[in-house]
Chain A
């Protein structure tokens, strides 16, 4: 009976432990969920959102930098591409009342729309125009500059190594040692067929 009680107590404790574990893991899962305001989206999604080329749309660029929600990749995305003139969704999907009334006006004759209204309708649907898409950036200067900088840094490191790290050169490189070494090689007839001794004229005592 004692064993049975212990068994029952044991199982109760085990049940409590699993319950505690499941709630903590559920809380962990919830905190990793997307769509809440205080979680950071993964870096590659941030990269999608931050358009480094978008110098011309200051307000939109600032809006990108303040993004705190993750992108839902299961829904159609907006993209600016010269190959795809009409993206999967309009750029602005959340419309203000002014936008909505403009959209209503769009249902009527377009001759009645002013130039500014037509432009506003365009900008509601698209972020960049074709010239803006095609516009080059000076990014290449930054890339080249940083590459040269690191090459220069490497050069500095190599020089510093030469001065402070490498040991002294062997004595076989100094003074008249190389000359004497060469003379000895020629006297020994090193590589006489096609190598160094074949290039030496032994009668005249000079190179051929």
Chain B
């Protein structure tokens, strides 16, 4: 029993040490005594695959985004890239802008996350022609 407790605290310490600026925290903060723990890379890959579905429909996009926003993390740029491309396939510019607004809000007090995301997504934004909320002037009241 004590070994399991020690392992949990070690896992907690490890995940804290691993936090990066984009801070997509692993799902590994669960109290499993056994069972596989999903790594950050697996989590990201799973979501990139979800949004990369070629014939994704509007409901799946909404469901995916709303679920993603429920997690205690800001998604990696590659997940957002996949989601924005899904918006393009669905001919939905408004949702693309909304996604950008949502991740900015999700970062909360960590004001350095959103500029990093935009910097990473700049090629995609220019390629697809998605304006940021700042470009459209809707980041202010």
In whole angstroms, how far apart are the Cα atoms of A110 and B89 in the complex? 12
Which residues of B are at the interface with A, using a C-beta cutoff of 8 A? Answer: 61-62, 65-66, 69-70, 88, 91-95, 97-99, 101-102, 104-105, 128-131, 133, 135-141
Tell me whether B65 and A126 are in contact (CB under 8 A).
Answer: no
Set of chain A residues within 8 Å of B94, measured between Cβ atoms: 90, 121-122, 124-126
> Judging by beta carbons under 8 Å apart, are A88 and B62 in contact?
yes
A91 to chain B: closest residue by CB = B94
Interface of B (DSSP majority class): helix
Q: Which partner residue on chain A sits nearest B98 by CB separation? A: A85
Additional A-B contact list (6), CB under 8 Å, known A111-B129, A125-B95, A135-B141: A83-B69, A106-B93, A122-B136, A125-B98, A131-B138, A131-B139
Count of chain A residues with a beta carbon within 8 Å of a chain B beta carbon: 30
Which residues of chain B come closer than 8 Å to A126, judged between CB atoms?
94, 98
B93 contacts A107, C-beta separation under 8 Å:
no
As a 0/1 sequence over residues 127 to 168 of chain A, the CB contacts with chain B under 8 angstroms (1 = contact) are 001111011000000000000000000000000000000000
In the complex, whether A188 has a CB less than 8 A from a CB of chain B is no
B66 to chain A, nearest CB (A): 5
* Residue on B nearest A134 in the bound complex, by CB: B105
* Nearest opposing residue in chain A for B58, CB measure: A86
Distance in angstroms from A123 CB to nearest chain B CB is 8
Contact A113 B98 (CB under 8 A): no
Residue of A nearest to B105 (CB): A130
Decide if B141 touches A110 in the complex (CB within 8 Å): no
Taking a contact as CB atoms under 8 Å apart, the answer to whether B69 and A84 are in contact is: yes
| Distance from B136 Cβ to chain A, minimum over Cβ atoms (Å) | 5
Determine how close the nearest CB of chain A comes to the CB of B73; give it in whole angstroms. 14
11 contacts between A and B (CB under 8 A): A83-B66, A84-B66, A85-B98, A86-B95, A90-B94, A110-B128, A113-B93, A121-B93, A125-B92, A125-B98, A131-B138
Q: Which 6 A-B pairs have the closest CB atoms?
A: A110-B129, A111-B129, A125-B94, A85-B102, A86-B62, A129-B138
